Amino acid sequence: MSERHDDDDDDENNIDNAFSSLENNCLKILLNSLVLFTRNKRIFSLIFTLTVLPLSFLRFSLSFSCHAIKNHIYSLEALAGYALTRFESQHVREESRANALSLLRLKFLYFPPSYLLSLVAAITTVNSAHSAVHNRRFTLQSAIASVKLTWKRPLVTTICIYVVLVLYSQLFFVSAAVTGNNSLSTVPTLFVWAVGSVLQVHLMAVLGLALVVSVLEDRFGFDAVRVGSGMMEGRMVCGWFLSFWFALMSGLIGWGWEKLMAAMMDGEDFWKGNKWTVVMGSWEKVGLICLHGIEVVWSYVVTTVFYCECRKRHAIAYGFLAQAYQHILFMLMASDMTLGFAGILRETPKIFSKNLRLMASLTLLNLLLLSLFFLSNVFSTKPFISDLVTKAFLIPVTDPKSTEFAYLLIGLMQDLRVFIGLEWAYAIVITATSLFLSTATIIASAATYGGESLFFKELLLSTLKSLKRPFFTWFYITLLGLGYSFLVLENLLPMMLIIQQPIASKALLITIGILASILYNYLAVIWALAFVISVLEEKCGIEALGKAAQIVKGMQLLGFGLNIVFTVSSSILFQALRLMTIKQSTVLPIVIGLLVVNSICLVKMFWWMAYTVFYYQCKETHGEEVESQDRILYSKVPTAPILNEP
């Protein structure tokens, strides 16, 4: 009995010691960050005055301006719902739309200076804090030089951070909407809000550390996110506490600002015509603006100190000599590259001749499955489409008060539900089949390219065993693609609404569409290579994306060329689908569609084979470099002491 009592006491002591250690570590980081301000008082004051304070002013000015416009839009929308006639309601909604356009213009005008100041503030503050940690002098000239040298990496990383946060917000609001209740009175809603809050705190900690990594190391984008997530191992709770601390500070400042604006709006009409006014004369506003600026600088400094602690804990060495060695090794390997873009295209067809039986069986399986799905989709949905078209033509000419109109409308809705259900089912089946066939194509291409003997049955079994990793990577790639599309549309739609001239609007749409397509094909190099890595290596998801970003350095233009060739070829083939509208024959459109689907299938199969060859070329050029980086990541090396630490 006494032994059990002693064990309980030991467990309680261990828990107390763990919490005490966590509290001491977090407080130590916060206190050390405050000490850093005294080491570089001049440079921190300049950063605060020149970047952070104007940034804080712009943010609060935008918030104040939008608050007045939003209130007016809400009042107009409420008034439109109580309008007596349709003409009055339409007139009120047109005014509300004009106000919404002015709100979009306002946000669009505020975004460039706010983002520029935020980027400069992050780079200069992180570099200044890092120099203070290691007792190095940091001047204004050093800050300007750091911005010139490193602005590209944080720029790409902030875009990735934005995509992740947008996806999280959409997922969170969808989950909250599924519960069916916005209050916290129900258990499902409370659970969604609790899990969402914890996930948000975790994302803030990881993404903040990723931004610091992109500033201080030669990493960017999701590679920086991967490194930041790995560095938090063993310090996760401390990172959560620091993230929650600054989220609480931001929430309190935002709550104070909302209260101040609500008090100012009571009994005072800030809306006069289409003009908006910003009054910044009260001490309360100035105090909140300065407090927000201090919170921004402090958060960057604390995250930098936390980064240094994690770096010391994991003994990560990213010194100048290691980076110089890796750069020289990269240049030597790049100069020894044997295959270019044309070489990859020449090497890919040779895979067929090396193992003709296996590749022919796989090609036949691709064509048979996709042809079967195409024909079954056409013949199963054709009756519903004909019925939908017939009822859609009959409804406008039918008396709305008759029973025939009700029957037509009910039948139309039923056919529409069945049609959507069938299309969703086919989309899921085709996606799963395409994922399986793409994985099989990569495995067969890799085995043939490496000179290994592989039978068709072994290929199918190997594909089934390794399908889990490509699925997770495909899921991440799909989320990234959706986030990229949302980002493009979010910036395109306000500009389309602002520009009223049709010719200028079409020109802008075409220009942005071309630029967005080029950027998408450039980003898709890493995504496609990550999918190949997840098939051939024991990596998936973010880890596969990070590995792809590492080995593709210096060779991304080759992958970009492959994507352009595939995109152009697929676009040309898709144009042939217009011939399916030929009404003189019922068989010819199906034959044309079948030929187009099979041709696209062959092009996609050739594309995955080319990317497999491209993967091996990247491995031959960068494989040793990646392995040396992995060894450097976890090698025990001495690090500089942090803040006079004994």
**pLDDT tens sequence across 380-398:** 877 777 777 787 777 777 7
* 205 pLDDT above the threshold of 80: yes
Phi-psi region of 453 (alpha: psi -120 to 50; beta: other; left: phi over 0): beta
Task: Say yes or no to pLDDT of 215 above 70.
Answer: yes
pLDDT of 30 over the 50 cut: yes
The pLDDT-based confidence of 628 (bands split at 50, 70, 90) is very low
Lowest mean pLDDT among 285-294, 329-338, 427-436, 526-535: 329-338
Tell me what the mean pLDDT of segment 85-109 comes to.
76
Instruction: Give the model's pLDDT for residue 188.
Output: 66
Say what percent of the chain tops pLDDT 70. 76
Maximum mean pLDDT: which of 98-107, 309-318, 527-536, 575-584: 527-536
Per-residue pLDDT of 35-76, as tens digits, reads: 877 777 788 888 888 888 888 888 888 887 777 787 777 777
In the structure encoding, which two tokens stand for residue 253, read together? 């400042």
What average pLDDT does this structure show over 587-614?
Answer: 84
DSSP string, 582-607: -SS-SSHHHHHHHHHHHHHHHHHHHH
Distances from the Cα of 290 to the Cα of 43, 52, 215, 283, 388, angstroms: 17, 9, 25, 10, 62
**How far is 209 from 310, CA to CA, in rounded Å?**
10
Q: Which of 269-283, 459-473, 556-570 has the highest mean pLDDT?
A: 459-473
Check: CB of residue 310 under 8 Å from CB of residue 209.
yes
Q: Is-contact 615 536, C-beta < 8 A?
A: yes
Q: State the distance between the two ends of the chain, measured CA to CA, in whole angstroms.
A: 44
pLDDT at 74: 78
Higher-confidence residue: 226 or 24? 226
Q: Tell me how far apart the alpha carbons of residues 607 and 521 are, in angstroms, rounded to a whole number.
A: 13
More reliable by pLDDT, 322 or 115: 115
Residue 557 clears pLDDT 50, i.e. is over it? yes
Cα separation, 546 vs 540, whole angstroms: 10
Which string of b and e fits 556-583 if b means at least 16 CB within 10 Å? bebbbbbbebbbebbeebeeeeeeeeee
- For residue 278, the model assigns a pLDDT of 43
How would DSSP label each residue in 37-106? HHHTHHHHHHHIIIIIHHHHHHHHHHHHHHHHHHHHHHHHHHHHHT-SSHHHHHHHHHHHHHHHHHHHHH
User: Looking at residues 484-503, what average pLDDT do you find?
Assistant: 71
More confident residue, 330 or 416: 416
Give the model's pLDDT for residue 624.
44
- HEC letters along 510-526: HHHHHHHHHHHHHHHHH
d(CA 302, CA 304): 5
The pLDDT of residue 548 is above 70: yes
Compute the chain's Rg from CA coordinates.
30
Q: Percent of the chain having pLDDT more than 90?
A: 1
Which pLDDT band, with edges at 50, 70 and 90, does 263 fall under? low
Higher confidence at residue 643 or residue 142? 142
Top mean pLDDT of 230-239, 480-489, 559-568, 634-643 is at 559-568
* Residue pLDDT, tens place only, 334-367: 444 444 667 777 777 888 778 888 888 888 988 8
Residue 539: DSSP 8-state: -
- Specify the pLDDT at position 183: 54
Report whether pLDDT(581) > 80. Answer: no
Q: 3-class SS at 275?
A: strand
Task: Report the pLDDT value the prediction gives residue 319, as an integer from 0 to 100.
Answer: 44
pLDDT at 469 over 80: yes
pLDDT tens by residue, 129-148? 888 887 777 777 878 888 88
Least-confidence region, from 226-230, 279-283, 597-601: 279-283
What is the pLDDT at residue 378? Answer: 81
How high does pLDDT run on average in the chain? Answer: 75
DSSP 321-388: HHHHHHHHHHHHHHHT----HHHHHHHHHHHHHHTHHHHHHHHHHHHHHHHHHHHHHHHHHHHHHHHH
**pLDDT at position 144:** 82
- List, in order, residues 6 or more apart from 602 with CB less than 8 Å away: 363, 366, 367
Name, in order, each residue with C-beta under 8 angstroms of 131's C-beta and a sequence gap of 6 or more: 40, 137, 138, 142
- Residue 210 has which token pair? 């990723």
> Tell me, what's the pLDDT at 86?
67
Give 433's contacts (C-beta < 8 A, 6+ positions apart): 369, 370, 373
Residue type, 106: L
User: Which CA distances in Å does 484 have to 254, 519, 525?
Assistant: 29, 10, 14
Residues 367-392: b if buried by 16+ CB within 10 A, e if exposed? bebbeebbeebeeebeebeebbeebe
- Mapped onto helix, strand or coil, the DSSP state of residue 1 is coil
- Say what the pLDDT of residue 203 is: 82
Residue among 153, 189, 156 nearest 172 (CA): 189
Q: What is the pLDDT of residues 450-463, one digit of tens each?
A: 878 778 888 888 88
Give the H/E segment covering residue 646: none
272 phi and psi angles, rounded to 5 deg: -130, 105
CA distance linking residue 576 with residue 585, whole number of Å = 16
Q: Which of 51-55, 75-79, 175-179, 582-586 has the lowest mean pLDDT?
A: 582-586
Lowest model confidence (mean pLDDT) among 9-13, 28-32, 370-374, 528-532: 9-13
Using a CB cutoff of 8 Å and minimum separation of 24, what contacts does 488-497 make? 488/512, 488/516, 494/104, 494/105, 494/107, 494/108, 495/108, 497/101, 497/104
